[in-house]
């Protein structure tokens, strides 16, 4: 029998950078790793957590994990213990409450102050610091609280100073800032206009998210998703395929320009790292807002405002032929600066599992995302193998609304999901219940569409959130390049388009014998068009050669200036 604690230890040793929450552990602990069907139970979770991309790679990870579980289950032989290094003496902490701040543990570790983590967390609770940035702003108070001696105190001060963009009147030159960041290996991007990596904001299955800024742009700040390529690929055999999936996320984000979707600005690849530079949204995840709410759930006006923004963003995503596939409160960020009058402004993030399904070349077939938000056609492996479409996001949207209003998940098992069987535990209004039930429907065709969601009586009943949605002023210019024939090698053409995307920082997506480009403001369109036409000419020439017309001269591709519908 595998206990939850044993499973947690095995995962920490075998997959140290991959977080598995307690609900997943409770679901998997009863599974006998020696059973014939054990891999099938683990398969969707290994894929959804980004450590495998198919059954073969999941099997390799699972075999290592099963071996680790067997070794941990054996009683260890008694052996003399080696002396442990003496830890600094820390006054015993009396504070009962503490907060979990992304990046805090890692930051203290870099300062050789890991032993002070419990006391630091308690101090954060007391002073109301909920982000690493707020901790750094009060670092001198923290140093005094921890009774730090002069050397570690100076070390903390220097670390804070290094992460801080220059303020007005700061006498540090740009060259000084860049030189110091380079020496500390916190520099990335082009040599003539680099980014400086700052404190960690969060951590996920694929990598870490940090604050970063550009010295030559008056300290303009961004968030950067930083993925260790070599470390990530040790878990998977097909490194090239994994890298393509990460770049596909970037290509999707470059094509999306919407007020309620986190914007991607830059993609930088080195031998060791892949950096996705994105809009900095400060306010945390919607999930944390819900669980920390005084009522442990949102009020109906609060939930209504969030729902409307998310539904509008989803409508835009689906209009691009995309499925998000991992919609949940953890992937909805709160924009604290833009929030007003007790109503939250939010943005959808994390398109790592998004899929382009309306391109004429691919279908969504895999179990990815988070099981608590899976639609029945995703949770059932047999049905999933036949394919699904954007209506899986409608189910997830209904679950998100339920979680916002109820503060708990609607389902406790797969059978309940298959039957869409759930109950309400709070005095939620009848109109809100009606909208949730209209979305959480077993048959995809029975789910309420997004246009009808935004016209629903529950949405219209509050004048504050029933006002017209903001026009989407962020949408970039779209240009379509027609192909004379079907590409002979779709995967190869997509790889070339991803290289084009990395070079010019624009989205280029293959859709039904067209390549759709979403232009950004600062791109050199003439140079980009020339490079893209060359890629497409080569692709068309290969197609003609494969069809036995090697001596045929490819016709010039028509570059349509018209906006794609």
Write out the E strands in 22-126.
none
User: Is 452 an active-site residue?
Assistant: no
Q: Pick the catalytic residue from 32, 54, 288, 326.
A: 326
- The rounded distance, in Å, linking the Cα atoms of 445 and 443 is 5
Cα dihedral 311, 277, 225, 249, rounded to 10, equals: 60
Q: Which structure tokens are listed for 487? A: 């590409």
Q: Taking the CA atoms of 353, 354, 357 and 361 in sequence, report the sign of the dihedral they define.
A: negative
How far lies 40's CA from each of 52, 54, 288, 351, in Å?
13, 11, 31, 25
Check: CB of residue 88 under 8 Å from CB of residue 108: no
Between strands 507-510 and 514-519, the pairing is antiparallel
Helix (H, G, I), strand (E, B) or coil at 277: strand
Tokens for 7, please give them: 């499973």
Which long-range contacts does 457-464 make (Cβ < 8 Å, 24+ apart)? 457/431, 458/300, 458/304, 458/429, 458/431, 458/432, 458/434, 459/304, 459/307, 459/308, 459/435, 461/431, 462/300, 462/301, 462/304, 464/301, 464/305, 464/341, 464/343
**Are 211 and 198 a contacting pair, CB within 8 Å?**
yes
Count CB atoms within 10 A of the CB of residue 357.
20
Nearest 5°: phi and psi at 134? -65, -35
If 0-12 CB within 10 Å is exposed, 13-18 middle and 19+ buried, where does residue 138 land? middle
Calpha distance 279→281 (Å, rounded) = 6
The distance of Cα 62 from the centroid of its chain, to the nearest Å, equals 24
For 400-435, letters b (16+ CB in 10 Å) and e give bbbbbbbbeebbeeeeebeebebeeeeebeebbeeb
Cα–Cα–Cα angle for 86, 129, 221, rounded to 5 degrees? 105
Give the relative orientation of helices 38-48 and 55-73 as an angle to the nearest 10 degrees: 110
- Phi, psi for 406 (deg, rounded to 5): -100, -25
Residue 332: φ, ψ to 5°: -120, 115
Residue with tokens 């200036």: 561
Q: Which residues contact 446 (CB under 8 A, 6 or more apart)?
A: none
Q: Are strands 355-356 and 322-323 parallel, antiparallel or unpaired?
A: antiparallel
Catalytic residue positions, numbered:
326
């Amino acid at each position: 029998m595998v206990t939850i604690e044993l499973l947690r230890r095995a995962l920490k040793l075998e997959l140290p950078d991959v977080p598995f929450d307690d609900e997943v552990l409770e679901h998997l602990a009863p599974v006998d790793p020696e059973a014939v069907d054990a891999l099938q139970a683990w398969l969707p979770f290994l894929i959804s957590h980004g450590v495998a991309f198919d059954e073969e790679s999941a099997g390799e990870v699972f075999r290592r994990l099963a071996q680790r579980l067997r070794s941990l289950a054996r009683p260890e032989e008694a052996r003399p213990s080696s002396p442990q290094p003496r830890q600094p003496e820390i006054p015993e902490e009396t504070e009962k409450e503490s907060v979990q701040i992304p990046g805090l543990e890692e930051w203290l570790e870099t300062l050789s102050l890991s032993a002070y983590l419990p006391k630091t967390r308690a101090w954060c609770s007391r002073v109301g610091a909920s982000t690493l940035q707020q901790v750094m702003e009060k670092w001198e108070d923290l140093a005094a609280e921890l009774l730090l001696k002069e050397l570690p105190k100076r070390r903390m001060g220097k670390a804070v100073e290094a992460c801080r963009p220059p303020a007005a009147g700061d006498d540090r030159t740009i060259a000084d800032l860049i030189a110091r960041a380079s020496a500390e290996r916190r520099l990335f991007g082009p040599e003539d206009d680099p980014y400086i990596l700052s404190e960690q904001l969060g951590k996920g299955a694929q990598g870490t998210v940090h604050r970063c800024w550009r010295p030559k742009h008056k300290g303009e700040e961004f968030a950067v998703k930083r993925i260790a390529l070599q470390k990530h690929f040790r878990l998977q055999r097909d490194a090239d395929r994994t890298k393509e999936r990460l770049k596909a996320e970037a290509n999707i984000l470059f094509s999306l320009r919407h007020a309620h979707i986190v914007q991607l600005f830059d993609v930088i690849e080195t031998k060791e790292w892949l950096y996705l530079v994105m809009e900095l949204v400060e306010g945390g995840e919607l999930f944390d807002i819900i669980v920390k709410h005084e009522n442990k759930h949102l009020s109906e006006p609060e939930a209504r405002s969030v729902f409307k923004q998310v539904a509008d963003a989803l409508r835009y995503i689906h209009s691009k032929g995309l499925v998000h596939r991992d919609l949940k409160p953890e992937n909805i960020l709160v924009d604290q600066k833009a929030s007003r009058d007790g109503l939250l402004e939010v943005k959808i993030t994390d398109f790592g599992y998004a899929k382009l399904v309306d391109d004429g070349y691919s279908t969504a077939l895999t179990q990815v995302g988070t099981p608590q938000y899976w639609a029945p056609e995703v949770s059932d492996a047999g049905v999933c193998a036949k394919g699904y479409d954007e209506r899986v996001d409608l189910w997830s949207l209904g679950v998100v609304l339920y979680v916002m209003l109820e503060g708990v998940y609607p389902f406790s098992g797969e059978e309940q999901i298959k039957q869409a069987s759930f109950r309400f535990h709070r005095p939620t209004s009848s109109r809100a219940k009606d909208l949730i039930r209209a979305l959480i429907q077993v048959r995809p065709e029975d789910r309420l569409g997004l246009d009808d969601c935004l016209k629903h009586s529950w949405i219209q009943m509050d004048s504050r959130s029933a006002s017209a949605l903001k026009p989407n002023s962020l949408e970039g210019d779209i240009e379509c390049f027609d192909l004379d024939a079907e590409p002979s090698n779709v995967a190869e053409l997509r790889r070339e388009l991803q290289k084009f995307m990395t070079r010019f920082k624009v989205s280029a997506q293959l859709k039904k014998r067209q390549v759709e480009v979403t232009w950004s403001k600062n791109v050199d369109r003439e140079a980009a068009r020339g490079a893209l036409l060359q890629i497409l000419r080569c692709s068309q020439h290969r197609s003609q050669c494969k069809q036995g017309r090697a001596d045929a001269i490819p016709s010039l591709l028509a570059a349509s200036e018209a906006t794609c519908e």
